[in-house]
């Protein structure tokens, strides 16, 4: 079922590196991790279960040097991180130690088992969106790939970051992630691969008219059954993430 | 029989419970139905409670599942007594 989720309606968790979460959240003593969840995750269970193959959509800020998630194990989920501000250090047991800054993103497929650590080693806040997708096969070999979105070179163009497109990172699921970074009033029609695919539109910055719904900063909408979705941005800086998924 | 056996994924970390395989290393025999696992059971990896697992109908990747690496303990054969 289609829905509109306003920024303030999302789940909100403030996770501190002190107390019961000290083994999970790094950066003791002053680190604080905030997470706005579009879908049920962890302590937030009062919302929607997910959207198609998308299970987690976390809008997260790591504050305080050393803040993040200590190394911990996953299976199966395909975890993507898109960095918008600050620097994220990602360590995984595939064998990667990576540092990602604004525009960088990765796809970590935990498959048959992989651990990762997400940490902000800098004094400035790190802002990223984490997405988790169910895979199309269980226990795939774990993998990690990363890429960069050049906001300047791709200004005012809808760019596929994840999916079967040149320059995009592929993953083992019928999903795509696209981004539009604009600084002028634009109108475009987003056409899903089929009427059975769902489209989740998330406004990172700016104001967006999504068909007949006005979406402000951090508002989002999940849409099923549309042949096309009309998106209009204002003249100001606008940043938009679009996830398309099989049911 | 295996057609009716289901798979459940932990929504906290992705840990998989397959009814056909059970979790012998955690004392759950192969063939144990999800409904027969106690409600207070939690994910062995991340402690997410049982009710936050989701049933999935997703096939295994080629070559999976491997036989469990940690099986029931089997005592090695006694070394033969050698009289020198």
The complex scores an ipTM of 0.93
DSSP string, A123-134: SS-EEEEEEEE-
CA B35 to chain centre: 15
pLDDT digit string (tens) for A89-100?
999 999 999 999
| pLDDT tens column, A101-153 | 999 999 999 999 999 999 999 999 999 999 999 999 999 999 999 999 999 99
Contacts of B69 in chain A (CB under 8 A): none
Q: Which residues of B touch A74 (CB under 8 A)?
A: 13-14
pTM of the model: 0.93
Selecting from B9, B13, B16 the residue whose C-beta is nearest the C-beta of A73 gives: B13
Chain B residue with the nearest C-alpha to that of A116: B13
Compute the C-alpha angle A52/A143/A165, nearest 5°: 60
Distance CA(A210)–CA(A226), nearest Å, equals 12
Choose among A74, A111, A137: nearest Cβ to B58: A137
- Locate A82 and state its tokens: 């898109």
In angstroms, the CA A103 to CA A68 distance is 19
Q: Give dist(CA A227, CA A47) in Å, integer.
A: 27
Nearest to B32 by CA among B50, B19, B43: B19
CB B45 within 8 A of CB B35: no
- In the prediction, which pLDDT does B4 show? 86
């Amino acid at each position: 079922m289609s829905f509109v989720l306003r920024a303030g309606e999302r789940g909100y968790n403030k996770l501190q590196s002190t107390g019961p979460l000290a083994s999970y959240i790094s950066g003791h003593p002053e680190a604080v991790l905030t997470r706005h969840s579009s879908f049920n995750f962890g302590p937030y269970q009062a919302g929607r279960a997910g959207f198609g193959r998308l299970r987690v959509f976390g809008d997260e800020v790591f504050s305080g040097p050393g803040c993040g998630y200590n190394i911990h194990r996953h299976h199966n989920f395909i975890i993507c991180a898109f960095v918008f501000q600050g620097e994220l250090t990602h360590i995984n047991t595939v064998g990667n130690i990576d540092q990602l800054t604004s525009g960088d993103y990765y796809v970590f497929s935990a498959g048959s088992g992989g651990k990762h650590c997400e940490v902000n080693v800098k004094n400035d806040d790190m802002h990223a969106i984490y997405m988790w997708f169910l895979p199309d096969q269980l226990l795939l070999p774990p993998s990690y790939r990363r890429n960069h979105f050049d906001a300047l070179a791709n200004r005012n163009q809808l760019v596929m970051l994840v999916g079967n497109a040149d320059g995009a990172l592929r993953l083992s699921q019928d999903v795509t992630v696209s981004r539009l970074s604009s600084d002028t009033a634009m109108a475009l029609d987003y056409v899903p691969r089929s009427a059975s695919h769902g489209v989740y539109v998330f406004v990172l910055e700016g104001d967006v008219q999504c068909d007949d719904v006005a979406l402000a900063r951090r508002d989002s909408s999940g849409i099923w059954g549309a042949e096309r979705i009309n998106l209009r941005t204002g003249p100001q800086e606008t940043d938009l993430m679009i996830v398309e998924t099989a049911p | 029989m295996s057609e009716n056996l289901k798979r459940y994924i932990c929504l906290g970390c992705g840990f998989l419970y397959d009814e056909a395989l059970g979790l012998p290393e955690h004392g759950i025999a192969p063939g144990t139905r999800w409904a027969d696992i106690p409600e207070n059971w939690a994910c062995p990896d991340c402690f997410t409670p049982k009710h936050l697992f989701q049933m999935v109908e997703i096939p295994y990747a080629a070559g999976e599942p491997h036989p469990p690496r940690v099986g029931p303990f089997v005592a090695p054969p006694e070394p033969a007594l050698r009289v020198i």
